[in-house]
Amino acid sequence: MHGIHIGSLIKAELAKQERTISWFARKLYCDRSNIYDIFKRKSIDTELLLRISLILKRNFFLLYIDEFELRERI
């Protein structure tokens, strides 16, 4: 089982919303290089994930609920 690669999913959502890296960096109050670092992460701090979820208006925590339920059945 591969699990969730949250950085890739955040990157995909940003592209889906046609938002720029610069826009996202401004919203997170960080440098663009930090955004590229986030995209590489397989896991992420929950506080940061909450901030990202609010900025992108997408509840990324639901992905973990789905993953939990899938793994629980195994």
CA–CA dist 29, 51 (Å, integer): 11
Fold of the CATH domain 6-73: 434 Repressor (Amino-terminal Domain) (1.10.260)
Please, which pLDDT band fits residue 74 given cuts at 50, 70 and 90? confident
Token pair belonging to 12: 């995909």
Domain boundaries along the sequence of the chain? 6-73
pLDDT in tens, 18-66: 999 999 999 999 999 999 999 999 999 999 999 999 999 999 999 999 8
Model pTM score: 0.91
Token pair belonging to 68: 């939990």
* C-alpha distances out from residue 11 to 52, 56, 65, 71, 72, Å: 11, 11, 20, 24, 27
